[in-house]
Amino acid sequence: MSLQKTYTQREVTMRIVHLLVGPLLFFLCYTLLPTSFFETAAARGAIGTIAWMAYWWVTGPIDFAVTALLPITLNAIFMMCDMSLIIANYANETIMLLLGASLITAAWEVSGLDKRIASMFLMLIGNSLRGQIAFWFILTAVLSAVLPNAVVCAAITPIAVSMLKYVGITDIAESRTGSMILMTIAYGAGVGGMATPLGGAMNLVTVQYLQDLTGEEFIYMHWVVRFLPLMIILVVSNIIYLLLCCKKGESLGGSRDYFAEKYKSMGKMSFEEKWALALFVVATVLAFTRQFYQTLLPGLKPAYVFITCAILAFVVMRRDGTRLIRWKSAEKKVIWDLLYIFAGGLAAGTLINETGAAAAIGAAMDSIGLNGGFMTVLVIVTVTLLMSDMTSNTATAAVAMPIVISIVSGIGLNPIPYIYVATIGVNISYMLPTSIRAIPVGYGLEPKFMLKKGVGMTIMVILLMSVASWLCVEYWPAFSTI
């Protein structure tokens, strides 16, 4: 008996329409985008690729992971950039990190650790969706302030997924509750990354530009001080927005007492559970404390720490002599979609940057005739935030910072405060499944759900951050120094 869903004639027709619109968008971008800005066919093709992928990710006429392979096919046909640069994204270090984390958490399910962790979190936090939203957002934001946000999102998301499975939410795409929680984790990790230079590579790119511009060493604590007011506004506004998206009284089911009783009934942790937990804790701690052993083991980056611990999960023996986990069971539990969706977003970002499309967007911003006032701040926040949605945050920082510096220096103003303004946009984005937002999508979150919630969040954040950062530029002298 076939397990495939049956579709109505209207659904079949709409699927065909969505399938055709994707390549049509590519063709329109490739042929009609103004050559005055996008001088090369490769740059126009890169924009068309983003448009095609975004449309298919949102409408879903084919599997999301398959859509993520489009950069390979389109680049093979139109030769927009060196193919080796595109292919490299599908074995990126972060992909290895996600694969390692997925294999380790597969051992949780085999050993039963996932149920123990889920009941513990539900017992401590409670079953209120609003309480869960606030908890996961604050947790990921705080961790991402001092740790790479991709690592935080990759480590925290499986824990939330285990909790959701425990309460019966196995299909995230069909669960508004599950979708809200996973989306919250990605948003929290993105926002938290802006708090300190350690929040991600995009911030280190910004620090480098500031040091090159001034010839002085940048003190990390100064970053914290300058972004603190903006961070408070971001965190509070994001949490309020997410809570307003929840219905009053909405819960995950059960009660705190019920989950407390369930947790007690599980008894002591088994030998297998302890090993499954130890491997995850060791991988996470080593990834988060790399600075302490970086000189001794320069090649052991977080991605390879997780892969190493994943290999150990296949080596560990149970008390009865059988292995903790075997490949045949692990491969069914790995979220393969996650790896390809994340890689597809990276590949699209590579196209945008390597073809000069990102530089062309910056040149278009330069042509607007900005004078350093509120409109300049609004344009910088808007363009950098939207670019971060199309490509990686780090790539956006590398492209946007020199453009911002040249624009502001060209009108005779101090570029430092405007670099800080651009930093807001290169850290946060909400709508498309690129960068860390691909992680919850890989676990089942529908891109159209993220887009629907992300549009409102994006508009709110652009307005709030433009006003707040403009006030900092105008009235806070420290915001103009490093």
The pLDDT value given to residue 133: 92
Report residue 263 as tokens: 């947790």
Enumerate the domain spans of the chain. 91-334
The pLDDT value given to residue 6: 67
Mean pLDDT per segment of 10 residues, for the chain of length 482 residues?
Answer: 62 91 95 88 92 86 88 95 92 81 82 79 81 90 78 81 85 90 92 82 80 81 90 96 88 73 81 88 80 86 87 87 84 79 80 83 68 88 87 74 78 89 91 84 89 94 96 93 87
> Strand ranges (DSSP E) for 381-441?
none
Q: Answer whether 374's CB lies under 8 Å from 412's CB.
A: no
The pLDDT value given to residue 154: 80
3-state secondary structure the chain: CCCCCCCCHHHHHHHHHHHHHHHHHHHHHHHHCCCCCCCCHHHHHHHHHHHHHHHHHHHCCCCHHHHCCHHHHHHHHHCCCCHHHHHHHHHCHHHHHHHHHHHHHHHHHHHCHHHHHHHHHHHHHCCEHHHHHHHHHHHHHHHHHHCCHHHHHHHHHHHHHHHHHHCCCCCHHHCHHHHHHHHHHHHHHHHHCCCCHHHCHHHHHHHHHHHHHHCCCCCHHHHHHHHHHHHHHHHHHHHHHHHHCCCCCCECCCCHHHHHHHHHHCCCCCHHHHHHHHHHHHHHHHHHCHHHCCCCCCCCCHHHHHHHHHHHHHHCECCCCCECCCHHHHHHHCCHHHHHHHHHHHHHHHHHHHCCHHHHHHHHHHCCCCCCCHHHHHHHHHHHHHHHHHCCHHHHHHHHHHHHHHHHHHCCCCCHHHHHHHHHHHHCCCCCCCHHHHHHHHCCCCHHHHHHHHHHHHHHHHHHHHHHHHHHHHHCHHHHCC
Report residue 293 as tokens: 């052993």
Report residue 422 as tokens: 């651009």
Q: Answer whether 426's CB lies under 8 Å from 397's CB.
A: yes
Q: Answer whether 451's CB lies under 8 Å from 348's CB.
A: no
Report residue 236 as tokens: 């509070």
Which residue carries 């023996």 as its tokens? 317
